[in-house]
Amino acid sequence: MGFFDKIKKALIGETKEAEQETDKSLVDADSPEAQRSEESQPAQTPAEQGASEPVAPAETADSSDLEAEQETAEVSPQQEATTANKEEAPSIPKGVAKDIPSEEVPASEPILQPAPETESVQDKYTKGLTKSRKTFGQRMNELFANFRTVDEDFFEEVEETLIGADVGFDAAMKIADALRQEVKLRNVKKTADVQNVIIEKLVDLYGEAGVGEVNELNMQSGLTVILFVGVNGVGKTTSIGKLAHQFKAEGKKVLLAAADTFRAGAIDQLVVWGERAGVEVVRGNAGGDPAAVVFDAMERAKRENADVLLVDTAGRLQNKVNLMNELEKIKRIIQRVDPTAPHEVLLVLDATTGQNAMNQAKQFKETTDVSGLVLTKLDGTAKGGIVLAIRNELRLPVKLVGLGEGINDLEPFDPNEFVVGLFKGLIKE
């Protein structure tokens, strides 16, 4: 069973499968089960009976009985107030119910339920990938707008569409080739069927590229040292601050190291995030030796029994030789204190830059031993397909993704949730 088959239920929903199961159970009309199903009908509720068969008023009821029924049917003061509130108050938008005190929501109103305090991971992925999903859907619509026949021109248009969706050149070629074979094998002719095959091949290729991939952070029982690398402006320092906040919320002792001494602004920015997250920052002077800052941070982390040390570094790709030497020196300093560290080297990429992010990943992979990726601003871009390209071409696992601007919106990367969020609603029935 392919990766696509495993998540297909989440992509197209369970409704269609439920209908298919119902139809299947009624195929054999001569079976005892089918006969019993036809002979027996579910009992109607009183409300349904009233709707289908109006009940005539009882002629034998005396006036005292009618008065008793009217008194029983009178609206209580609490219900009357509730009705008045419902008439006067404006309609409540979806998701605002959590702001309403529970005592103001009557028990007889099951429709209005308090919203959860935080969004589920699935909701975050679905909402965070809205732009990418809409853009991909639009590209599919444009592809099939002039759809006439599945010929070589059509396959070339598929390749261009996928490349435009930032899934990568190699992935686009592989999918187009697989589509050629699948169309012939299945004799696919309908627009909806062709679109489904394209998405199926995208998902399966994504699943195959991720075999054996570890998306979880390599956390240690003692001190975990995580080194962050990336060019300026990709959200590196912000990601460190958000991750520090999450670790602190889990009860961990966290330290930050401001090893990007090349820019004074980078040190100040990390200090601000440290204050927001409630964690301390080990810092030096602007223009100082970043390795010295890291050494002080490692010594302090050991001395104070810290659980996590997050190290910010410079990202001057314009001089790769100096950058490589600097990162190698930082690693040697870390390993003097802990030979097993750093336990993660995370490259931070801005998802909104699309193929430029791919180029950065290739250069950093050549420069240092990157163990995983952090994709920021995924919610603000229509280029979510870049994850497919990174996974297929670079074989680097995505560890964390930014799905919003809030301090809690840096999420561990979940491949299944990502695929569902990217293609949800695009499968044609």
pLDDT digits (tens, 9 = 90+) for 249-280: 999 999 999 999 988 789 999 999 999 999 99
Whole-angstrom distance, CA of residue 118 vs CA of residue 129: 18
Better pLDDT: 35 or 166:
166
Q: Write phi, then psi, for 132 (nearest 5 degrees).
A: -65, -40
Mean pLDDT of the region 230-237: 90
CA 284 to the chain's CA centroid = 37
Lowest mean pLDDT among 107-111, 162-166, 385-389, 401-405: 107-111
**Tens-digit pLDDT profile for residues 389-408:** 888 788 889 999 998 888 88
Better pLDDT: 35 or 86:
35
Predicted confidence (pLDDT) at residue 144 exceeds the cutoff of 60? yes
> Per 3-state DSSP, what percentage of the chain is helix, strand, and coil (rounded to 5)?
55, 10, 35
Q: Write phi, then psi, for 120 (nearest 5 degrees).
A: -70, 160
Q: Which residues contact 184 (CB under 8 A, 6 or more apart)?
A: none
State the amino acid at position 18 in one-letter form.
A
Predicted confidence (pLDDT) at residue 233 exceeds the cutoff of 70? yes
pLDDT of 86 reads 41
pTM here is: 0.71
**Tens-digit pLDDT profile for residues 27-51:** 444 554 445 444 555 555 444 444 4
Q: How many CB atoms lie within 10 A of CB 303?
A: 8
Residue 409, judged by CB atoms within 10 A of its CB (0-12, 13-18, 19+), counts as middle
Predicted confidence (pLDDT) at residue 113 exceeds the cutoff of 50? no
Helix ranges (H only) for 74-129 are 77-88, 121-128
Residue 233 gets the label, from left (phi > 0), alpha (psi -120 to 50) or beta, of left
Whole-angstrom CA distances from 46 to 37, 59, 268 are: 22, 21, 69
**Tens-digit pLDDT profile for residues 15-25:** 354 445 544 54
Average pLDDT, the chain: 76
pLDDT of 219 reads 96
Residue 53, judged by CB atoms within 10 A of its CB (0-12, 13-18, 19+), counts as exposed
Better pLDDT: 161 or 294:
294
Whole-angstrom distance, CA of residue 367 vs CA of residue 321: 8
Lowest mean pLDDT among 38-42, 307-311, 355-359: 38-42
Confidence of residue 13 (pLDDT cuts 50, 70, 90): low
Mean pLDDT of the region 322-346: 92
Residue 187 gets the label, from left (phi > 0), alpha (psi -120 to 50) or beta, of left
Q: Which residues contact 84 (CB under 8 A, 6 or more apart)?
A: none
Predicted confidence (pLDDT) at residue 350 exceeds the cutoff of 60? yes
Strand-pair partners of 282: 257
Q: Which residues contact 393 (CB under 8 A, 6 or more apart)?
A: 168, 170, 171, 358
